[in-house]
């Protein structure tokens, strides 16, 4: 049978995050996680006793902790609870969010808290990511998550000048958003008049991928509490409803390069967006959604993926950036939080996306709240070898 | 002068010789330029474990030239500005070899601004000058009080701190009948604030007097944060430790029959792909299945060894090899090659010969890229490094 | 919409000490192919497998995001894949939730673990402890289980002789299980004379290094007939986390197991496991855990583990007829191996070790040192 509606509605009733930072030597892992857990409980007005089930996730080899949920029980509040642990790379946080939805919708648990974290400073991030490659082949060749291929493709398609301009505009918009988010790790205060200078002088990492384009490496944690419809209405004045979600992975090999336009397979983001929007009857996602929290590991990918997620054609995605429609106050604000380029505790990053989207729906995002009402929000996760998780959130039930 | 940090740009350069660490200069043989906007240019030359710094407009022959404004440059040197953030945001830029410039980080001990011993009078001024800033709003909820300070002696003076509505205002006068007045000599006040003598001792020996609400006196510690002398903020005892550890658990990875056949092929200078019997797709290196058709792949085909470059990724960032821990020289080239016998997306990733980075043309659609060939290791044992790298076929 | 989830098919490779001749990819593929064949299930986005729940662990795979390496061999190219990284029984519980939520109607579960790949299992599990205190004092799953063994043996009157009996029986049962690790039969004297690994745990009291992979196809109640005539139903699930520091808990209290049982029994409507469950599989990674866990699930009286063994309790209640974890299953998959035995028994395919008329089975799994996290799954015919 085709995909159908879930058996029970699930609402997000609490959100917590640490301040994301390049180093949190002042706390250990469990203590750092505890900050997010406490904030989520306070946000929901709940106590640990109210939580039935916990879901924990990150990537073991970044910090070199095997089964870290065992130690982290000191900070998660897991003692005496049903607990799960899921991990899917960069998508981990989004997978946790989907898992929380599944566990509550199943009727097995009424109130579930999902927790994503990473303390990247405690390991070597690029080395850790490189370790994901096959030990017998690409591991000695890969350079972490760094690749200039996306920049190359955009330059080939739209010309060097325009592609560079758009990528840097995207970058500056994200930096300005981050400047409004007190939890963001990095906000440099970039100005529009710095654009040409940055394009010319920012140090290159791989190909045209510059240091200013790339996401940060952060320490941080995020926790989200979800409940059944009945409980959510009882416990919260403003639950945010999880409408639907989809996960699309792909094979490990890099057979998806843009050099041969006739043979490039579809981007997972597009496959996910098409399937998710089709089954929910949405034909123009850029019009339908009021905000999009996207997992954007670099400004190049951020620009490129707008086309895939919003099912746009030609240079429509470039125009969204050039006309600043993705900025707070624009037609479809993208990452009012500042996104992943600003803050990236990897195991939490993809959970921060729906968490931030929920705050936007509630109108509780603070200085980076977008000024117009948010009724429909979209959040994405990215990880592995170009994997996608896409999540739809709604202010009202009855879609 | 960087007004922001009270340190001159010249001070940084003038102290370089005394801060120089010969052990950090091992193997460095290069010149580095410093272009500090509006303040001048300097050239640093390092060779054979010694150094020379000169102010000059001629920065020719430098491996890298750093450009920054005075505040950023001074801030980075005294540890007040994060160098990586300054570099990432473009406030500090490097023209030339970024990798080479990285070596300068090890050349010098950190610059510490010379510490000046304050006089009693200077201390008193600084202590009252920072009183408002040290006020703790949280502890003052509901308070509406005045605290008088009658500090005697030539270097003393009179001050009043007015606390109301969670705010603290300090004036240089003694208002009539404050809630609490503290009376002592300037020297004793300074010693008390620096923690060299305690309050009970001063009171019992009669060197200090307190008039008014005594209960309030015991609350002062909560109302104001502890005073720290200028320049000493960072020298406080650090309680937090960071445990450094390299973790390594040896592994033995099985190759399995598919990867095994492929790696064995390399020993004989053969590159083997496997072919999906349903869709015909070739995979190099071979995988157990065709992900598209979800069927086992067992037909092997020799491909290459030559091919054309579809894509070159030039890596400028030195990423460590997780299998050896060694960091590669940058820049280096990672190429995606369409080996002879493969088509479409069936590319093979490997390294390019170091000195051929700028001679590669990438293919696009029907247009072929530069033709390359593998350079085989003399001794081949069935591993990735059996091919050292690819080079232009000429 | 029913509230039961069916296991429609299962396939496994044999448990072996060292699968040096295959990558884990090959092992998984050997499990996937028979499942597709047995059930005719496809990856059609409407009617087939849209989501795959996997189970493995980045430390034992020695790979960051080890699901990268298995996307293709579990068929997850352009499909969903979610990796559970604790004892695989929790993965089955999660797969169950995916189906009961209505989000998925068919879920493929795939698990693998190659303990032989790491040079030292203890060095790997030492990494499960915090780097500040527990790691430097040398804690790993073996040492911490030795604390538990000593405390439990004192509490429940369990002797070295009792443990020898447990090991001998495990190996005898395993000899009747064609997919069990060929660990070989032993005598009581062999066990009593085997060297100490961590007093009181002897070499033969500890589960041996094992490689294994397994797969299962799960589906919702309405669609089960499309895939099998002989389904096994998952009707109960529960798990629970105990405290982290060994000194913060009573290692013999079965706290997390009792809580997990409460939840699972409640779901499945089990009142008394002694009469209501026909086949019991416990993850006895160490011999002393068999009687201890039997107490935890309500099979033996509190502190009566020694007497329970003497009175032939394990055989009477059909406990660990597969040979148990003690005979050899890899960490991460101990609980799944228990569920596999339950599945085989309930389908009546257990050959020489078949329990006649088996209707209900209990599978238990554990994660962490001294059973910090425990899981219980109930299967029914």
Q: Indicate which CATH number applies to the domain containing C92.
A: 3.40.47.10
A252 to C69: CB separation less than 8 angstroms, yes or no: yes
B384 to A251: CB separation less than 8 angstroms, yes or no: no
* DSSP-assigned states of every residue in A44-83: HT--GGG--EEEEE--HHHHT-SSHHHHHHHHH--BTSEE
CB C176 within 8 A of CB C353: yes
CB B351 within 8 A of CB B375: no
Residue B357 CA to residue B351 CA, distance in Å, equals 10
CB B14 within 8 A of CB B34: no
A160-180 and A149-158 helices cross at what angle (nearest 10)? 120
Q: Which chain B residues contact residue A23 at CB under 8 A?
A: none
Pairing of strands B180-185, B208-212: antiparallel
pLDDT digits (tens, 9 = 90+) for A118-163: 998 888 776 666 666 777 776 667 666 678 889 999 999 999 999 9
pLDDT exceeding 70 applies to what percent of chain A? 94
C192 phi and psi angles, rounded to 5 deg? -65, -25
Q: Is residue C107 part of a domain?
A: yes
Q: Which chain C residues contact residue B258 at CB under 8 A?
A: 23, 26
pLDDT at A5 > cutoff 90? no
Q: Which candidate from A135, A138, A259 shows the least CB-CB separation from B363?
A: A259
Q: Is residue C299 part of a domain?
A: no
A82 to C263: CB separation less than 8 angstroms, yes or no: yes
Q: Which chain C residues contact residue A78 at CB under 8 A?
A: 241
C-alpha of B367 from chain center: 43
All residues at 6 or more sequence positions from C34 whose CB lies less than 8 Å from its CB, including other chains? C9, C11
CA A230 vs CA A8, A107, A110, A241: distances in Å: 10, 12, 9, 12
Instruction: Name residue C378's beta-bridge partners.
Output: C236, C362
All residues at 6 or more sequence positions from B14 whose CB lies less than 8 Å from its CB, including other chains? none
All residues at 6 or more sequence positions from B185 whose CB lies less than 8 Å from its CB, including other chains? B151, B152, B153, B156, B207
C269 Ramachandran zone, left/alpha/beta (phi>0; psi -120 to 50)? left
Residue A305 CA to residue A287 CA, distance in Å, equals 17
**How far does chain B reach from its first CA to its final CA, in angstroms?**
57
The torsion of the CA quartet B345, B351, B355, B356, rounded to 10 degrees, works out to -10
CATH superfamily of B120-223: SCP2 sterol-binding domain (3.30.1050.10)
Which residues of B lie inside 8 Å of C (Cβ-Cβ)?
243, 245, 247, 249-259, 287-292, 294, 296
Nearest chain A residue to B96 by CA: give it. A203
Q: Which chain C residues contact residue B322 at CB under 8 A?
A: none
Q: Is residue C52 part of a domain?
A: yes
The yes or no reply on domain A142-215+243-394 and CATH 1.10.357.20 is no
C-alpha of C83 from chain center: 17
A274-287 core/surface letters (b: 16 or more CB in 10 A; e: else): bbbbebbebeebbe
Same fold, B9-106 and B120-223: yes
Residue A268 CA to residue A202 CA, distance in Å, equals 30
Residue A94 CA to residue A84 CA, distance in Å, equals 15
B322 to A131: CB separation less than 8 angstroms, yes or no: yes
C21 to B288: CB separation less than 8 angstroms, yes or no: no
The torsion of the CA quartet C127, C128, C129, C132, rounded to 10 degrees, works out to 40
Q: Is the dihedral of CA A282, A283, A289, A295 positive or negative?
A: positive
Extract long-range pairs of B13-18: CB within 8 Å, 24+ residues apart: B13/B42, B13/B53, B13/B55, B15/B111, B16/B44, B16/B51, B16/B53, B16/B108, B17/B51, B17/B53
Give chain B's count of helices (H) and strands (E): 11, 20
Element (H, E) at B204: helix B199-204
CA distance A136 to chain B (A): 7
Query: What is the structure's pLDDT at B94?
Result: 85
If one counts every other C-beta atom within 10 angstroms of the C-beta of residue B166, the result is 14
Contacting B residues, span 225-254, partner chain A, CB-CB under 8 Å = 240, 242, 247, 251, 253
Q: Is residue C334 part of a domain?
A: no
Size of interface A-B (CB pairs under 8 A): 142
Whether chain A has a CB inside 8 Å of the CB on C281: the answer is no
Q: Helices marked H in A141-190 — which ranges? A: 149-158, 160-180
Residue A76 CA to residue A36 CA, distance in Å, equals 9
DSSP C13: P
Residue B5 CA to residue B74 CA, distance in Å, equals 7
Q: Which chain C residues contact residue B255 at CB under 8 A?
A: 23
Query: What is the structure's pLDDT at A134?
Result: 74
For chain C, which ranges sit under pLDDT 70? 1-2
Contacting C residues, span 103-132, partner chain B, CB-CB under 8 Å = 114, 116-120, 123-124, 127, 131-132
Q: Which chain A residues contact residue B242 at CB under 8 A?
A: 25
C25 phi and psi angles, rounded to 5 deg? -60, -45
Q: Which candidate from C72, C119, C131 shows the least CB-CB separation from B245?
A: C131
Residue A49 CA to residue B7 CA, distance in Å, equals 55
CA C264 vs CA A82, B8, C234, C267: distances in Å: 11, 71, 10, 5
All residues at 6 or more sequence positions from C328 whose CB lies less than 8 Å from its CB, including other chains? C15, C17, C174, C180, C181, C183, C207, C208, C209, C210
B182 phi and psi angles, rounded to 5 deg? -115, 130
If one counts every other C-beta atom within 10 angstroms of the C-beta of residue C233, the result is 19
Element (H, E) at A387: strand A387-394
Query: What is the structure's pLDDT at C359?
Result: 98
Same fold, A10-126+218-235 and A142-215+243-394: yes
Instruction: Look at chain C and report how many structural domains it folds into.
Output: 1
Nearest chain A residue to B316 by CA: give it. A205
Query: What is the structure's pLDDT at B93?
Result: 86
CA distance C196 to chain A (A): 26
Residue B290 CA to residue B276 CA, distance in Å, equals 6
Query: What is the structure's pLDDT at B81?
Result: 83
* pLDDT averaged per 10 residues, chain B (length 394): 74 89 86 91 91 91 90 86 84 81 81 77 86 84 89 90 88 89 90 83 82 81 82 59 79 92 96 96 94 95 96 82 68 93 94 95 93 97 93 95
Range of the structural domain that residue C10 is part of: 5-119+209-226
CA distance C211 to chain B (A): 12
> What is residue C120's three-state secondary structure?
coil
Contacting B residues, span 293-352, partner chain A, CB-CB under 8 Å = 310-317, 319-324, 334, 336, 343-347, 349-351
CA distance C215 to chain B (A): 16
Ranges of each domain in chain B: 9-106, 120-223, 256-392
Ranges of each domain in chain A: 10-126+218-235, 142-215+243-394
Q: Is residue C378 part of a domain?
A: no
C83 Ramachandran zone, left/alpha/beta (phi>0; psi -120 to 50)? beta
Please classify residue B366 by burial: count the beta carbons closer than 10 Å to its beta carbon, then call 0-12 exposed, 13-18 middle and 19+ buried: exposed
Please classify residue B38 by burial: count the beta carbons closer than 10 Å to its beta carbon, then call 0-12 exposed, 13-18 middle and 19+ buried: exposed
Q: Is residue C14 part of a domain?
A: yes
Residue B336 CA to residue B328 CA, distance in Å, equals 19
C44-58 core/surface letters (b: 16 or more CB in 10 A; e: else): eeeebbbbbbbbbbb
Reported residue count of chain B is 394
Extract the runs of DSSP E, i.e. beta strands, from B242-324: 271-275, 282-283, 289-290, 295-296, 299-303, 307-315
* DSSP-assigned states of every residue in C327-357: GT--TTSHHHHHHHHHHHHHTT--GGGPPTT
Pairing of strands B40-47, B50-55: antiparallel
If one counts every other C-beta atom within 10 angstroms of the C-beta of residue B244, the result is 7
CATH superfamily of A10-126+218-235: Thiolase/Chalcone synthase (3.40.47.10)
DSSP A14: E
* DSSP-assigned states of every residue in C57-80: -HHHHTSTTGGGGGTTTTT-BTSE
Residue B256 CA to residue B268 CA, distance in Å, equals 19
DSSP A21: B
Pairing of strands A82-85, A53-57: parallel
Q: Which candidate from A211, A254, A263 shows the least CB-CB separation from B87?
A: A211
Question: Residue C268 is encoded by which pair of tokens?
Answer: 């499945």
Mean pLDDT across chain A, nearest whole number?
Answer: 93
Class of domain B9-106: alpha beta
ipTM score: 0.97
Q: Which candidate from C58, C102, C373 shows the least CB-CB separation from A83?
A: C373
Nearest to B342 by CA among B243, B271, B240, B292: B271
CB B350 within 8 A of CB B376: no
Residue with tokens 């291929």: A149
């Amino acid at each position: 049978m085709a995909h159908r509606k879930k058996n029970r509605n699930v609402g997000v009733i609490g959100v917590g995050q640490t301040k994301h930072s390049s180093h949190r030597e002042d706390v250990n892992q469990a203590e750092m996680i505890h900050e997010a857990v406490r904030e989520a409980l306070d946000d929901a007005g709940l106590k640990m006793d109210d939580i039935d089930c916990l879901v924990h996730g990150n990537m073991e080899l970044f910090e070199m902790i095997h089964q870290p949920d065992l130690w982290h029980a000191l900070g998660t509040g897991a003692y005496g609870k049903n607990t799960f642990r899921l991990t899917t790379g960069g998508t981990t946080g989004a997978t946790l969010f989907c898992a929380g939805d599944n566990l509550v919708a199943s009727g097995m648990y009424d109130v579930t808290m999902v927790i994503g974290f990473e303390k990247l400073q405690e390991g070597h991030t690029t080395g850790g990511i490189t370790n994901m490659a096959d030990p017998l082949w690409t591991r000695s060749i890969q350079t972490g998550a760094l690749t200039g291929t996306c920049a190359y493709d955009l330059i080939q398609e739209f010309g060097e000048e325009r592609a560079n301009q758009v990528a840097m505009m995207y970058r500056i918009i994200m930096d300005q958003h981050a400047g409004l988010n007190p939890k963001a790790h990095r906000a440099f205060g970039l100005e529009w008049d710095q654009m040409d200078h940055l394009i010319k002088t920012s140090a290159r990492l791989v190909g045209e991928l510059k240091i200013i384009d790339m996401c940060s490496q952060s320490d941080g944690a995020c926790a989200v509490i979800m409940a059944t419809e009945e409980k959510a209405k009882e416990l919260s004045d403003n639950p945010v409803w999880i409408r639907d979600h989809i996960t699309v992975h792909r094979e490990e090999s890099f057979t998806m390069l843009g050099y041969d336009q006739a043979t490039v397979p579809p981007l997972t983001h597009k496959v996910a967006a098409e399937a998710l929007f089709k089954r929910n009857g949405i034909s123009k996602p850029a019009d339908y959604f009021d905000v999009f929290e996207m997992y954007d590991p670099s400004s190049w990918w951020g620009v490129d993926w707008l086309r895939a997620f919003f099912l746009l054609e030609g240079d429509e995605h470039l125009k969204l950036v050039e006309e600043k429609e993705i900025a707070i106050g624009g037609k479809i604000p993208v990452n009012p939080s500042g996104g992943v380029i600003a803050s990236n505790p990897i195991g939490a990053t993809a959970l921060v996306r729906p968490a931030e989207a929920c705050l936007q729906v509630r109108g509780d995002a603070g200085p980076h709240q977008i000024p117009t009402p948010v009724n429909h929000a979209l959040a994405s996760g990215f990880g592995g070898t170009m994997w996608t998780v896409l999540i739809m959130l709604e202010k009202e039930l009855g879609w | 002068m960087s007004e922001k940090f009270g340190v001159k740009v010249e001070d940084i350069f003038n102290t370089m010789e005394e801060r120089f660490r010969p052990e950090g200069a091992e193997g460095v043989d290069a010149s580095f330029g410093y272009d500090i906007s509006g303040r001048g240019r300097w050239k640093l030359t390092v060779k054979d474990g010694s150094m020379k710094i000169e102010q000059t407009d001629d920065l020719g022959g430098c491996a890298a030239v750093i450009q920054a404004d005075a505040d950023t440059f001074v801030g980075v040197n005294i540890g007040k500005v994060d160098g990586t953030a300054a570099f990432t945001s473009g406030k500090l830029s490097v023209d030339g070899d970024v990798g080479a410039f990285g070596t300068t980080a090890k050349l010098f001990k950190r610059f510490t601004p010379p510490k000046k011993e304050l006089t009693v009078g200077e201390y008193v001024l600084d202590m009252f000058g920072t009183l408002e800033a040290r006020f703790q709003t949280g502890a003052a909820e509901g308070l509406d009080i005045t605290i008088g300070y009658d500090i005697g002696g030539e270097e003393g003076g009179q001050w009043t701190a007015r606390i109301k509505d969670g705010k603290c205002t300090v004036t240089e006068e003694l208002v009539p009948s404050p809630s609490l007045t503290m009376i002592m000599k300037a020297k004793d006040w300074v010693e008390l604030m620096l923690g060299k003598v305690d309050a009970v001792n001063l009171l019992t020996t009669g060197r200090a007097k307190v008039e008014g609400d005594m209960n309030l006196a015991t609350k002062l510690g909560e109302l104001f944060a502890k005073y720290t002398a200028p320049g000493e903020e960072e020298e406080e005892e650090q309680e937090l430790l960071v445990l450094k550890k390299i973790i390594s658990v040896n592994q033995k990875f099985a190759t399995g029959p598919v990867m095994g056949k492929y790696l064995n092929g390399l020993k004989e200078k053969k590159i083997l792909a496997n072919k999906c019997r349903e869709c015909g797709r070739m995979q190099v290196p071979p995988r157990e299945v065709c992900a598209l058709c979800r069927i086992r792949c067992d037909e092997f085909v020799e491909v290459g060894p030559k091919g054309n470059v579809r894509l070159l990724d030039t890596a400028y960032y030195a990423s460590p090899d997780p299998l050896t821990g060694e960091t590669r020289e940058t820049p280096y080239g990672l190429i995606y090659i369409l080996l002879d016998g493969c088509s479409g997306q069936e590319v093979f990733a490997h390294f390019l010969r170091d000195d051929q980075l700028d001679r590669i043309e990438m293919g696009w659609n029907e247009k072929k890229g530069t033709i390359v060939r593998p350079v085989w290791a003399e001794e081949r044992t069935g591993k990735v490094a059996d091919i050292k790298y690819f080079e232009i076929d000429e | 919409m029913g509230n039961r989830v069916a296991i429609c098919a299962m396939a496994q490779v044999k448990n072996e000490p060292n699968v040096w001749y295959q990558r884990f990819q090959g092992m998984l593929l050997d499990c996937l192919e028979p499942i597709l064949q047995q059930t005719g299930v496809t990856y059609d986005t409407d009617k087939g497998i849209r989501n795959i729940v996997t189970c493995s662990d980045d430390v034992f795979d020695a790979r960051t995001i080890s699901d990268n390496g298995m996307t293709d061999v579990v068929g997850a190219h352009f499909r969903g894949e979610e990796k559970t990284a604790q004892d695989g029984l929790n993965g089955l519980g999660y797969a169950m939730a995916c189906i009961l939520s209505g989000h998925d109607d068919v879920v493929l579960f795939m698990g693998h673990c190659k303990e032989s790949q790491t040079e030292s299992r203890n060095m790997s599990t030492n990494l499960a402890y915090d780097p500040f205190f527990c790691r430097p004092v040398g804690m790993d799953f073996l040492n911490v289980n030795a604390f538990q063994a000593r405390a439990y043996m004192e509490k429940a009157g369990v002797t070295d002789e009792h443990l020898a009996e447990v090991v001998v029986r495990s190996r005898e049962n395993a000899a009747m299980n064609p997919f069990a690790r060929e660990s070989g039969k032993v005598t009581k004297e062999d066990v009593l004379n085997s060297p100490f690994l961590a007093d009181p745990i002897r070499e033969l009291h500890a589960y041996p290094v094992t490689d294994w992979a397994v797969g299962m196809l799960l589906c919702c109640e309405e669609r089960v007939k499309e895939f099998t005539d002989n389904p096994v139903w998952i009707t109960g699930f529960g798990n629970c986390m105990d405290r982290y520091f060994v000194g913060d808990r009573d290692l013999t209290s079965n706290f997390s197991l009792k809580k997990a049982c409460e939840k699972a029994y409640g779901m499945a409507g089990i009142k008394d496991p002694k009469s209501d469950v026909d086949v019991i599989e416990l993850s006895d990674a160490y011999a002393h855990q068999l009687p201890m866990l039997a107490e935890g699930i309500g099979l033996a009286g509190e502190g009566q583990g020694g007497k329970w063994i003497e009175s032939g309790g394990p055989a009477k209640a059909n406990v660990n007829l597969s040979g148990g974890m003690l005979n050899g299953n890899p960490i991460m998959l101990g609980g799944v191996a228990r569920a596999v035995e339950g599945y085989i028994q309930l389908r009546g395919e257990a050959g020489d070790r078949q329990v006649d008329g088996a209707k209900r089975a209990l599978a238990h799994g554990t994660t962490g040192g001294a059973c910090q996290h425990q899981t219980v799954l109930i299967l029914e015919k």
